[in-house]
Amino acid sequence: MAIIGIVALDRQGAIGKEGKLPWHFKADLRFFREQTTGHACVMGYRTWLSLREVPLPKRLNLVLSRRAHITRLPPVIFLTQELTAIELNDYLQCDLFVIGGASIYEAFREHIECWIVTEIPLTIEDADTFMPADFLEGFTRTATRNLGDDLTVNFYERG
């Protein structure tokens, strides 16, 4: 099914600071949950740590790490390369959400068909993780949604 990138970013394209999300907006967390529930989510190992290694409920959690891991929790699958997730996607009856962080967005860049981008109305001091400035190159905005709390979500598709 579709491979969809989902990200929240500040006015300068920042997405993270010290291994965490540098903001807390309930409306965006709710939106993220609504969009991704019932689907598969692929994330990098540092993002997995930011979730305190607790799987996102009601979603297939795919965690990328180049180190070999033993899967301890049935709802989590550790993968060592992004191609495995893309191959697995052919067998999924749901969408595959690419949920970050920066290195995972980069690894899946060529495979992402749609982007869902929440604009966070902040400029984070000393942010250390950013989206590349041109990540939406080749995409066209197809819809916009207001989440409240001054948050806007833009939907993009290739083309």
**How far apart are the C-alpha atoms of 8 and 18, rounded to whole Å?**
16
* Residue 29 vs residues 7, 147, 151: alpha-carbon distances, Å: 11, 10, 11
Indicate which single residue of 13, 27, 55, 65 sits in contact with ligand NAP (rule: CB under 6 A): 65
109 binds ligand NAP (CB under 6 A): no
67 binds ligand NAP (CB under 6 A): yes
Counts of helices then strands in the chain (DSSP H, E):
4, 10
Evaluate whether 55 touches 75 at the Cβ level (below 8 Å). yes
Evaluate whether 19 touches 124 at the Cβ level (below 8 Å). no
Indicate which single residue of 11, 20, 33, 58 sits in contact with ligand NAP (rule: CB under 6 A): 20
Residue 51 vs 92, nearer CB to ligand NAP: 51
In a 3-state reduction of DSSP, which class is residue 59?
A: coil
Indicate which single residue of 100, 139, 151, 153 sits in contact with ligand NAP (rule: CB under 6 A): 100
Applying the rule CB under 6 A, the residues between 30 and 49 that interact with ligand NAP are 43-47
Residue 57 vs 159, nearer CB to ligand NAP: 57
Q: Which residues in this chain contact ligand NAP in the complex, by CB under 6 A?
A: 7-8, 15-16, 19-21, 43-47, 50, 64-67, 80-82, 99-104, 107, 129
